[in-house]
């Protein structure tokens, strides 16, 4: 049954990813994968926040199955590092070295910051120190 819940969460996350990345790309443009970057940032923040707020020391303890549904299913379907990798490869193949390197650096640095920020905010909500 866990696989069914993870698959359902993955479907929700995938639809959310398709919508969010498309919304960003339609507003900013397609020359740089801003939609994928935005999804990776928000997904990293959400998984960092959720993991901390619902963990054993969290304010809102969640059952393990729900954590799997949300973190593995929804967040796994939503975050797009597979798309990130393909888009970076395409930029490299098109000779867009600056954009490819920018995509790698921005994605890694900003997503690490986002997951840390999510952790810190959830720890504060939990009433503990970050």
13-64 pLDDT, tens digit each:
999 999 999 999 999 999 999 999 999 999 999 999 999 999 988 999 999 9
- Kindly report the pTM of this predicted structure: 0.81
Judge whether 20 lies within some domain.
Answer: yes
What CA–CA distance (Å, rounded) separates 60 from 117?
A: 18
Angle, CA 50 vertex, CA 44 and CA 54 arms, to 5°? 155
What CA–CA distance (Å, rounded) separates 37 from 25?
A: 10
Q: Looking at the 3D structure of the chain, how many domains does it have?
A: 1
Judge whether 94 lies within some domain.
Answer: yes
Judge whether 130 lies within some domain.
Answer: no
Give me the domain span that covers residue 67: 2-125
CA distances from 36 to 65, 75, 116, 125 (A): 28, 14, 19, 29
Judge whether 59 lies within some domain.
Answer: yes
| Tens digit of each residue's pLDDT (9 = 90 or more) over 58-84 | 999 999 999 999 999 999 999 988 889
């Amino acid at each position: 049954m866990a696989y069914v819940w993870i698959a359902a969460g993955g479907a929700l996350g995938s639809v959310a990813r398709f919508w969010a990345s498309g919304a960003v790309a339609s507003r900013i443009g397609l020359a740089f994968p801003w939609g994928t970057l935005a999804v990776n940032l928000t997904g990293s923040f959400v998984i960092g926040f959720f993991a901390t707020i619902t963990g054993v020391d969290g304010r809102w303890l969640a059952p393990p199955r729900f954590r799997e549904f949300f973190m593995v299913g929804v967040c796994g379907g939503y975050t797009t590092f597979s798309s990130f990798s393909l888009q970076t490869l395409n930029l490299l193949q098109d000779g867009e070295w600056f954009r490819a390197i920018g995509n790698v650096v921005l994605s890694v640095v900003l997503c690490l910051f986002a997951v840390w920020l999510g952790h810190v905010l959830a720890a504060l909500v939990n009433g503990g120190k970050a």
